[in-house]
A and B are shown apart, each in its own frame.
Chain A
Amino acid sequence: MSLLSVNNLNAHYGDFQALYGIDFRVEEGETVAVIGANGAGKSTFLRTLSGLISTARDGVIFAGQSIGGELAHRIVGLGLAQVPEGRCLFPSMSVEENLLIGAYSGRPGPWNLQRLYGLFPILKERRNVPATMLSGGQQQMVALGRALMSNPRLLLCDEISLGLAPVMIKDVYAALPGIKAEGTSVVVVEQDTGQAMRVADRLYCFQEGKVALEGAPSQLSREQISLAYFGV
């Protein structure tokens, strides 16, 4: 059975329908990329999985449990964590406090402050600095670490390369193998198709709220992807 299976998922912003009949799955230990243009529904999809946008109960099945439309604050405790788009660090808190709040749900597992500082040594150095004083790349490490502190089985990363210098993107993505080594499955949402194809076992391309293409990166041609991406 898949760790996450999404069946015919629809989501709305008020009267506006943003997602149409999405079918999606993530296997245990797998890294899945979601690509697509701006407004394709990628972030909406992650927000729906995390419970920030409501949907039908059976639309999302995580670890054998129907969680569609469950309250967001309960979903984290089940082992599904999100690194939100734009990082959304808590400005009134230091780096370490931001990481500690990530452990609020109290889910047991391999990740704690010590392990995280091992993964991102720079954060240990700057642990008492207000989180928003860090550089963009370091802030993204905090956001990633904060999500890991909840010891997720599935980690959702929303555009973690957005606005970062290429060298920082490399640094952030360098943490991925260490995360996967703990058995965590990962979904990365990216506009940077090249980055997504390098890390993903499988890839979904969203277009206008629908899945336009699915497959392993090695089996997809550039033409197929650009057709699914741009729809022309």
Chain B
Amino acid sequence: MTAAIDTLLQGLLLGGLYALFATGLALSFGVMRMINIAHGDFAILSAFLAVAVVAGLGLNPFVVMILVVPAMALLGYGLQRLVLNRTLGKDIMPPLLVTFGCSIVIQNLLQEIFSADTRSLDAGSLGTDSLALGGGVAVGVLPLLIMASAVAVLAALQYLFARTRLGRAFRAASDDATTAQLMGIDNKHVYGVAMAIAMAVVALAGFYLALRANVSPSEGPARLIYAFEAVIIGGLGSLWGTLAGGMVLGVAQSVGLRLDPGWGILSGHLAFLAILVLRPNGLFPKTRDR
């Protein structure tokens, strides 16, 4: 019984990390109708950036995170304005191909600079601290922190979309880009801001990943698949669905892992396929006209 609760809890908390990975993807699809194939690689890039800065300046990882997240946001804005905006149009292929190219460039750059070795960030005692919940069940402080971050990020984005002027501009540009211009909305700028936010969140995800586990330069695409799965399980266009999707994926993986150490990743994919069969629109579909 204790083992079952423990497995479930670990899976749910892992879902927080997956939700952070998935949020940026959901955001760029939601606002720009664009799929960023390099999304996972940007997470890994942020992780290595943090590793390099920690090694170079000897700063606390959390201080470095405060530097890396805005730096990645800036990169995201620049990338959207200078490159990705030019690929947007009726055809969905150009953004796919360009971000696929980004993915290859990032992986190779990271391998060139950092070699193919895995790296991680040292979380200090935070990495091993745990909170006893009684009955022999304990949860790690770091996974809790990650989950809390995911909830905070999603709540902030939910507020942004529902209540603010910028959020309305996001939705207007997503609904009808031409009419949005007639409202005075500069779509190109709005897309840049959306990508900046997406990149900031994925940078946070990459940072937490490096605190929890070893990261290798070539694991971006694997992270992208988990993010995709979380988005699809949760339902396209639903922010909180992303967290639910991440949790389903996390629980499936930790249950699989408990049954057999080789089944963790596989059972995550199987859960994804099962949801696709049973609820093709995801758990919390947001039906829209388009």
**A residues with CB within 8 A of B:** 50-52, 71-74, 76-77, 81-82, 84, 88, 90-93, 97, 100-102, 104-106, 132, 146, 150
| Interface stretch (choices B2-10, B84-92, B174-182, B223-231) | B174-182
Chain A residue nearest to B187 in the complex (CB): A73
Task: Establish whether residues B182 and A50, one from each chain, have CB atoms under 8 Å apart when the complex forms.
Answer: yes
27 CB-based A-B contacts, threshold 8 Å: A51-B181, A52-B178, A71-B181, A72-B182, A73-B181, A73-B185, A76-B182, A77-B184, A81-B182, A88-B176, A88-B178, A88-B179, A90-B175, A91-B175, A91-B288, A92-B171, A92-B175, A92-B288, A93-B168, A97-B168, A101-B168, A101-B183, A101-B185, A104-B168, A104-B169, A105-B183, A106-B184
Residues on B with C-beta less than 8 A from A105 are 183-184
Question: Taking the nearest CB of chain A, how far is it from the CB of B174, in angstroms?
Answer: 7
Q: A100-B168, A101-B172 are in contact. Are A76 and B184 (CB under 8 A)?
A: yes
Chain B residue total in the interface (Cβ 8 A) = 21
Question: Taking the nearest CB of chain A, how far is it from the CB of B39, in angstroms?
Answer: 23
Number of A-B contacts (CB under 8 A): 71
CA–CA, A71 to B181, complex, Å?
A: 9
B129 at the interface (CB under 8 A from A): no
Residues on A with C-beta less than 8 A from B174 are 92
Question: Taking the nearest CB of chain A, how far is it from the CB of B193, in angstroms?
Answer: 14
User: Which 8 pairs between the two chains have the least Cβ-Cβ distance?
Assistant: A105-B184, A76-B184, A72-B181, A88-B179, A90-B175, A91-B289, A73-B186, A73-B181
Residues on A with C-beta less than 8 A from B184 are 73-74, 76-77, 104-106, 150
Question: Taking the nearest CB of chain A, how far is it from the CB of B187, in angstroms?
Answer: 7
Q: A101-B168, A104-B165 are in contact. Are A90 and B176 (CB under 8 A)?
A: yes
Task: Establish whether residues A132 and B289, one from each chain, have CB atoms under 8 Å apart when the complex forms.
Answer: yes
Question: Taking the nearest CB of chain B, how far is it from the CB of A122, in angstroms?
Answer: 22
Residue of B175, B180, B183, B289 contacting most chain A CB atoms (<10 Å) = B183
Residues on B with C-beta less than 8 A from A102 are 183
CA–CA, A146 to B174, complex, Å?
A: 18
Task: Establish whether residues A90 and B289, one from each chain, have CB atoms under 8 Å apart when the complex forms.
Answer: no
Task: Establish whether residues B182 and A52, one from each chain, have CB atoms under 8 Å apart when the complex forms.
Answer: yes
Chain A residue nearest to B161 in the complex (CB): A92
Question: Taking the nearest CB of chain B, how far is it from the CB of A204, in angstroms?
Answer: 22
